[in-house]
Structure 1
Amino acid sequence: MSNQEKFSTNNAPKPVGLYPHARRAGNLLFLSGVGPRTAGSDATDSHVPGLELDKNGNFIKFDFEAQCRQVFDNVRAILEASGSSWNELIDVQVFLVNMKRDFHTYNKIYAEYFKENQPCRTTVEISSLPTPIAIELKCIATID
């Protein structure tokens, strides 16, 4: 196995640019930013759980908890397709587009998913993401 192997999977949303889902460097696995779009969707045909927009891009339905759960499922799918696992996560960077509205919900759901493994974590608010999502994760895990 190459020390600089790249990984992509159909079990996660397609990247919105020219980059892999993950890349290995030594015994570390670096995940590209992962959002809550459903597996196989891309930026032009995106399905985000809990999100419905009108033709002008305004919210009809917004369920941040559904986005949190989907982003965690997407991270897990990428980790497993790359030969790592959820318990191998060592660092999670969280990008939220609305800290005041969403942080409490995110923190609650995060605690459900990370009872056993407790990676380092940084949470920041940003003004927007490249698709109509409210959360994105950037993760580092170990890999054998």
Structure 2
Amino acid sequence: MSNEHITTGQAPKPVGLYPHARRVGNLLFLSGVGPRVAGSGPNDSAVPGLVLDHNGNFKEFDFEAQVHSVFQNVKAILEASGSKWENLVDVTVFLVNMKRDFHTFNRIYAAYFKDNQPCRTTVEVNALPTPIAIELKCIAVIE
């Protein structure tokens, strides 16, 4: 049974000591993926739709931009791992503000998952390790 760690420069660098994904057999487990710009490190503030002031307070916030970016990062990791978007079988969504962002997320999610409908769980969390509003945890198959 294969068991390999996968990391790609086409997604943001992990915040800790873990790979972007791990393949076990024909299953691919993605570590938590956020919307930071590909190649950016955990201390970079390169988050689409987010501008912070010198105190770390939001000056600009665009949740939709973060959703599109996190989906692009997931796609990049899937492709670097030998899988693809259509092979997702399970998605766990972490939102920092369910009341504000859930309906927007659902609308954008429906556009990306018209043909493939993986299982999904959405939960609200108090915070994420960087100043982001969304993170995804995904499982896919590799054919």
TM-score of Structure 1 vs Structure 2, range by shorter chain: over 0.9
1:35-54 equivalent positions in 2, closer than 5 A: 35-54=34-53
| Counterpart in the other structure of 2:10 | 11
Q: Which stretches of structure 1, 4 residues or longer, exceed 2 Å deviation after superposition? A: none
- SS of the residue aligned with 1:19? coil
| Counterpart in the other structure of 2:23 | 24
Residue identity in the other structure for 1:117: N
Instruction: For structure 2, list consecutive stretches of 5 or more residues without a partner in the other structure.
Output: none
Equivalent pairs counted in the alignment come to 143
- The CA RMSD measured in Å over matched residues stands at 0.7
Identical aligned pairs, as a percentage? 74
| Counterpart in the other structure of 1:83 | 82
User: TM-score, structure 2 length as denominator?
Assistant: 0.98
The answer to whether residue 61 in structure 2 is matched with residue 69 in structure 1 is no
| Counterpart in the other structure of 1:119 | 118
Q: Distance in 2 between matches of 1:117 and 1:54?
A: 39
1:10-37 CA-partner distances (Å, limit 9, x unpaired): 0000000000000011110000000000
Instruction: For structure 1, list consecutive stretches of 5 or more residues without a partner in the other structure.
Output: none
Offset, 1:44: 1.1
- SS of the residue aligned with 1:123? strand
Q: Distance in 2 between matches of 1:47 and 1:113?
A: 23
